[in-house]
Each structure stands twice: as C-alpha cells, then as structure tokens.
Amino acid sequence: MSSLRKPTTRAGVIGTGHFATAVVTQSESMTDLQVAAVADLNPEAARRAFRLAGVPDDAIAFCENRAEALAALERGQRAIVEDALLLMDLPVDVIVESTGVTEAGARHAQAAIAAGKHVAMVSKETDSVVGPMLAHLARQAGVSYTPVDGDQHGLLIELVRWCRMLGLEVLAAGKARDGEYFYDRTALEVRGGEYVLRLRSRDSRWLAPLRPLNLAGQLQERMDFLAPLPGVGGWDLTELVIAANALGLRPDDPFDGTGGGQLHGPALYTTEIPGVFCPREMGGILENRGVIEVLTSLRIPEAAGLGGGVFAVVHADTDYSRQILATKGCLANASGDAALIYRPYHLCGVETPATLLAAAQSGHSTYDESYRQKWDVVMVARRDLAAGETLGTDHSPDVEALIAPVQSIHDDGAWLPIHLGSGLQLRRDVPAGTPIPVGAVERPAGSVLWTLRQEQEKILGIG
C-alpha cells in the first residue's frame, strides 16, 4: 500500500517494541489509519517496524528536528525521530505511548494531552499509578485517554461493561496468563513454556477435571503439584489493578501488611472456570463477589485454551435468563447460577488500530469518570535489600508484587507502588519479608510521574 495515501487518522507511535511494531505493521493494511511518525531512542528499531510493514526505505526519513519531520510528512514519507516530544508538534491525531517506562510514559502522555492529542496508553506501568489523573486531564482538554484493544486490561474493561449493561452481575472477572500449561497424557508431562513437569501415571489424578464435591481441596492439590511451573507474575497484577480501578472490582484477599495480596491464580480447564470463580455459597472458592482474578489455562493438546484472553463469570437474576446463558453457548457451574463469558484471545498491536480510530474519530475512551485509584501493586522484599540498591520493575526477582488498598504517598510509611519506585535507589535497608515503604526511596526531583500522583491524590482522592 502506498505511503502517499490520505488516511482519515494519523498516529504517532512512541517506542517500537513487540507490541507497537504490530501497531505499525497492521495499520499499513488499513485505509483509514496511518502511522505517520515513530519516536524511538533506537532509530533502527523504528526503521525495522516500518520495513516489516512494507514501507520502502525511500519512504522513511530520519529527522533531527520538527522542521525536518514536517518536511518529510509533506513529501509523503514516514518520519523517525529520537525525541518523542517532537511528535506533539506534528500533524498527528493520536499518540501511542508504548515505551513501558513509567516516568517516560507519564511525561509523554501529559505532553500529548497538553498538545490536544488523543492518547492510547500501552504502557500499563504508567497507567497503573497515574492513569486516573491522566484520564482526568484528557477530559478537561477535550481529548481521549484510553487503554487499547489488544491489551488484556482494556479488553477486560469493555467485556465487563458489556455484561453490566445487560444487567448481569459480574461475580469475577480477569485474564488468562499468556503462558499456558499443556497436559500431554500420552507423553505423561505438563509443559509450561520452557519448563517440563514429568509425570508418573498416578500423578494424573491431580490433572483430572475438578468435581463439585471438595472442589477447593482438589484445586489446592493441583496447584501444589504444578507449583514447579511458572506462575502469575507482577506484570499480570499490574494489568489487573488497572481493570480493578476502572471497574470497581477487588482482590478476594488484599494485602494487609502481613499477608494477602496474591490472587488465587489457579490452573484451570476452560470448563472449570465458572465453577471455581464464583462465591462459596455457589460452590466456588471466592469469599467475595465482584472479584478481580487471573488463571493459567490448563489444556490437553486437542483442546483450545484461552490464549491470554479475558473472562467474566456472571449471574443472571432470573431462572429464564440463566437457562438462556447455559443453553446458548455459555459454560455454567454445577448449579447453573454462574456462567462464563469469555474472549479466548488478545491480539496485541494487531487489534489496537481499532482503538486509535475510535479515539481520534469519536473521542471514545474505554475509561469513564469512575476511574479512580483504589488499588496499587506494592512490593515486599524477597531478600535483604541494602541502601543504595536500585529497585526493579514488576519483573524483578528481588521483590514480590502484591495488590493492596491505595495509600497516600505523602506518608513515608505508606506502601510504595511498584511502578512509582522502579528505577529509584533505596536510601535505607529493607529486610526480607518487609513491605517497601515510600520513605525508603529518595523522592525524585522534577519527576512528572510523582507530580501527577500527588495531583491525583489532591484532585481525585484515594480509595
């Protein structure tokens, strides 16, 4: 497709990792959308994305300033810049923030909103700590700030809103991990990514379908057996906290300073989901209704899994509606009062262009005014951490990520949100097993991220 076409919507992309590269490549197959400019500290990564999209080299221009970028766009070329803030002065309608760097994401989103650009936020790290404030600023500026189709939290928010619009009670909602457990009954093994769990014939009892009688006990035995395989990561909690904040959902057992904060995170066959993720009075494992959750898809080779998709377990008020759900394609629990509605895929950047068009053409945002910071992903030291060490992200092996009620960052004793503290140095020791407090890090001078978080508390409140 020619780069000289005249799309109705132009996008600027910041950061061309795995996700955003797919935004660039898929947009090239669309008539109404064009990625006109890309900002990346590694220009070759941006050039590679355009090449993968089929854009010829002579239609790509590396530009060092705004004048060069404007001239390139006038010639029908795609512009590559290193400074992301240059995109705010270019004729693009929507900015895709996909750096994955919390401070950079905050700075870029704030600048885009100030410049009257819509913002499609791929960087969940930023969204998890200051998303409500950025959404508030966007509403004030008359532009859209939104998560994207293709990211699990964005898809989950849309799914739950659809269920609630129909009057269905959402008992639990969440996502499947990208990694699945493949149970090969012939080879007697379970594979989880690169990990393989060898089985003896009697081990298969842990992988048999759960039965309503003693469901919780069977499930715990299964999880104990599968414990050597990779499990739920802090990055999973980061996405789910955003969805919980946007939807008013809650963890079943939030962190209280000494325990809790982990989601149940079981390994389930798809058919088991509605029987497990419903309240105990319905035969499930949940203490509460309206719970945020995560699971690992357990499947045999000939069966379909969830592919990192999203789900909602719902309850309909009337017997007749429950009958419709159970007989028209929804899996139900044993008593028929909880049903599963799910989307068994998330297509990353391939489906994100739909969000860009909706934001630019109608100002649509998946968030609404109820988006508030009620929950944070905080961290507990897994080992003794020494003053001077740098805190990592939700991928760090040094900390355990947990979901906790939001606390004020003005209190030095408050639990430090993981993505507010990542990249900062500790100014005092933190013993293993201890929640890392706000006062354990030096508050960074001139941080857009920390300033936004402070403004978020002041304007929108906490909890």
Apex 236 CA angle, 293 and 406, nearest 5: 75
Instruction: List the domain boundaries for the chain.
Output: 9-150+354-362, 154-346, 375-460
Distance CA(137)–CA(360), nearest Å, equals 17
Residues 237-296: tens digit of each pLDDT: 999 999 999 999 999 999 999 999 999 999 999 999 999 999 999 999 999 999 999 999
pLDDT at 2: 43
Residue type for position 17: G
Is residue 358 scored above 80 in pLDDT? yes
324-335 per-position pLDDT tens digit? 999 999 999 999
Least Cα distance to 313 among 252, 253, 226, 369 occurs for: 252
Question: What global pTM score does this model have?
Answer: 0.96
Q: Please tell us whether the domain made up of 9-150+354-362 is placed in CATH 3.30.200.20.
A: no
Tokens of 304: 């379909």
Task: Tell me the C-alpha distance between 84 and 371, whole Å.
Answer: 27
Domain 375-460 class, CATH top level = alpha beta
Distance of CA 349 to the CA centre of its chain: 13
Q: pLDDT at residue 423 above 50?
A: yes
DSSP bridge pairs for 339: 314, 332
Task: With beta carbons less than 8 A apart as the criterion, state whether 344 and 304 touch.
Answer: yes
- Residues 250, 173: contact at Cβ < 8 Å? no
Separation CA 358–CA 449 (nearest Å): 27
Q: Centre a 10 Å sphere on the Cβ of residue 40 and count the other Cβ atoms it contains.
A: 23
Question: CB under 8 Å to 236, separation ≥6 — which residues?
Answer: 175, 177, 265, 294
Confidence tier at 463 by pLDDT (50, 70, 90): confident
Q: How far is CA 293 from CA 355, 389, 397, 452, in A?
A: 24, 32, 22, 28
Q: Do 78 and 95 meet the contact criterion of CB atoms below 8 Å apart?
A: no
